[in-house]
């Protein structure tokens, strides 16, 4: 899917953009007798392109996305039609939420649920979804997985995105989208359909109806896309190879230095991978006339864990705050209920990321850290030197990534032990080789994860405008050339957040 997605963007996006630029937002088709049909041309192109992009890698599961979209659109229209009937509006909301959560339960969590049941009760119950897959294969030969339920790419993103529409409509925060093409184009916005950012309907409601595309927006979008592509291809892919090698080792035998170098590699890999894709999505959106929300803001420079999560995957944090934390009562009903709400939100945040106990514990780990800061430690962090509080936050994030990307709790514990010398040595030949061979990429990643590069660009833009005017286009061309060259030969090119 990863190669297919980048192939789609590289070879089909220019064609789509050329057509898109010359299309008007709407086309009036005369039908005679002074009647005409209004076709939202650009939205229709986005809809078609979105389905093609998704079907490029998920030809069967595009049906799931279409059904989800149709149900949420119908729920929205019924809520609007029966605006004065609270019972009908509530039923529509329940149907929408249950349908979206149900899709996640079936395709993302059903294996996890039955694995847990079988483990606890020492049983051997087969996941009913697998039985259905086998029956479908017998009849239609679709080639569905018969061992584990295949996870449709990006289902966690587009279900949350679609749910935000019906929830906000129920709360009367937005107006109904009467056009099926308009609503479907919102759900199938191909730049961010498979890995975010999570774009709520209110973020793009006005732009769904009418948006402008010009040279300035296109050039700005290309620059943003190139920045994200460089993060992904030149940084995440290269540093990620180190973690892939260390992760495959025997944790009981590796040195502490090897363990630290490995998890630091993943710490940078996941940041540049996910923020890189988000930048690419924001850039593509800009080219199409949309202003998607920022999803990352240099999280590794945070001075507390709470601040880290205000800078990391910002749109997910906003979603859980708006649709879970605040409806539960937020911090309005005393400390005890506030702490309860935080634990619920962070347990769900972990579960959103993956169907395993590692992810649940990872989410609760952050919930506990944020609670500790909430009850007083946060004030201590504020008084500490900036370097100390940043080092603490970065260290907590590194520990969190161990839980995030080891396969089981047992392996996570083994890796933690290795980080503190349980393997028997502080540094071995493997650690020395990793450091000597990859010192430059570590240094570049550290530099790129800070605001230094951005500040340098601001300086040139303000003080050296003539240099900036030529340097940026030249840099964009070089980045696109380097990334394309790399992708042609690369065998290692995972998008980490496609699995969510």
Span 316-337, pLDDT tens digits: 999 999 999 999 988 888 888 9
Least confident of 217-221, 267-271, 375-379, 482-486: 482-486
496 vs 408: CA distance, rounded Å = 18
For 422, phi then psi, to 5°, come to: -65, -20
Which residue range is the domain that position 57 belongs to?
Answer: 2-211
474 vs 479: CA distance, rounded Å = 9
Domain final residue, candidates 174, 189, 211: 211
Same domain, 198 and 254: no
Q: Tell me what the pLDDT averaged over the chain comes to.
A: 86
Same domain, 185 and 232: no
Asked if pLDDT for residue 5 goes beyond 70, the answer is no
Active site residue 353: yes
Q: pLDDT tens digits, residue range 401-411?
A: 999 998 889 99
Same domain, 143 and 221: no
Domain final residue, candidates 211, 238, 264: 211
Same domain, 204 and 222: no
Same domain, 284 and 236: yes
Same domain, 121 and 64: yes
Same domain, 204 and 333: no
Structure-token pair, residue 145: 């997985």
Least confident of 4-8, 126-130, 175-179: 4-8
Same domain, 163 and 269: no
Q: What pLDDT sits at residue 494?
A: 59
Same domain, 48 and 131: yes
Same domain, 492 and 458: yes
Q: Who has greater pLDDT, 62 or 303?
A: 303
Same domain, 399 and 436: yes
Q: pLDDT tens digits, residue range 25-35?
A: 887 777 766 77
Q: Which of 298, 313, 353, 466 is catalytic?
A: 353
Domain count for the chain: 2
């Amino acid at each position: 899917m990863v190669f297919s997605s980048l192939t789609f963007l590289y070879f089909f996006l220019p064609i789509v953009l050329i057509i898109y630029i010359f299309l008007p937002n709407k086309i009036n088709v005369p039908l005679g007798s002074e009647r005409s049909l209004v076709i939202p041309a650009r939205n229709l192109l986005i809809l078609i392109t979105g389905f093609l992009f998704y079907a490029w890698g998920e030809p069967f599961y595009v049906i799931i996305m279409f059904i989800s979209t149709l149900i949420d659109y119908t729920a929205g229209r019924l809520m609007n039609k029966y605006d004065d009937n609270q019972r009908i509006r509530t039923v529509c909301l329940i149907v929408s939420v249950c349908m979206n959560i149900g899709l996640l339960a079936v395709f993302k969590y059903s294996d996890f649920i039955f694995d847990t049941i079988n483990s606890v009760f020492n049983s051997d119950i087969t996941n009913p979804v697998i039985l259905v897959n086998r029956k479908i294969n017998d009849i239609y030969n679709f080639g569905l997985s018969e061992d584990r339920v295949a996870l449709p790419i990006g289902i966690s993103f587009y279900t949350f995105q679609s749910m935000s529409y019906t929830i906000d409509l129920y709360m009367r925060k937005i107006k109904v989208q009467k056009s099926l093409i308009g609503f479907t184009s919102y759900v199938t916005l191909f730049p961010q359909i498979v890995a975010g950012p999570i774009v709520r309907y209110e973020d793009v409601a006005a732009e769904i109806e009418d948006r402008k595309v010009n040279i300035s927006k296109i050039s700005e979008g290309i620059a943003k896309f190139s920045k994200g592509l460089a993060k992904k291809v030149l940084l995440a892919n290269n540093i990620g190879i180190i973690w892939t090698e260390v992760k495959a080792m025997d944790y009981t035998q590796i040195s502490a230095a090897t363990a630290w170098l490995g998890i630091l590699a993943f710490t940078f890999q996941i940041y540049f991978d996910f923020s890189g894709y988000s930048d690419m999505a924001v850039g593509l959106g800009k080219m199409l006339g949309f202003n998607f929300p920022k999803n990352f803001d240099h999280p590794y420079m945070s001075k507390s864990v709470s601040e880290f999560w205000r800078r990391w995957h910002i749109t997910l944090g906003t979603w859980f705050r708006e649709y879970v934390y605040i409806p539960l009562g937020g911090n309005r009903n005393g400390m005890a209920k506030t702490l309860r709400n935080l634990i619920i939100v962070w347990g769900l945040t972990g579960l959103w990321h993956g169907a395993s106990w590692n992810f649940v514990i990872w989410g609760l780990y952050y919930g506990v850290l944020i609670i500790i800061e909430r009850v007083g430690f946060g004030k201590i962090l504020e008084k500490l030197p900036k370097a100390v509080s940043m080092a603490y936050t970065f260290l907590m994030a590194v520990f969190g990534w161990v839980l995030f990307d080891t396969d089981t709790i047992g392996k996570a514990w083994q890796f933690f032990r290795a980080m503190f010398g349980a393997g028997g040595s502080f540094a071995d030949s493997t650690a020395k080789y990793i450091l000597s061979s990859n010192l430059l990429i570590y240094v570049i990643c550290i530099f790129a994860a800070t605001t230094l590069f951005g500040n340098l660009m601001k300086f040139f833009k303000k003080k050296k405008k003539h240099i900036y005017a030529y340097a940026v286009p030249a840099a964009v061309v070089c980045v696109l050339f380097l990334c394309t060259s790399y992708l042609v030969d690369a065998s290692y090119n995972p998008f980490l957040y496609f699995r969510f």
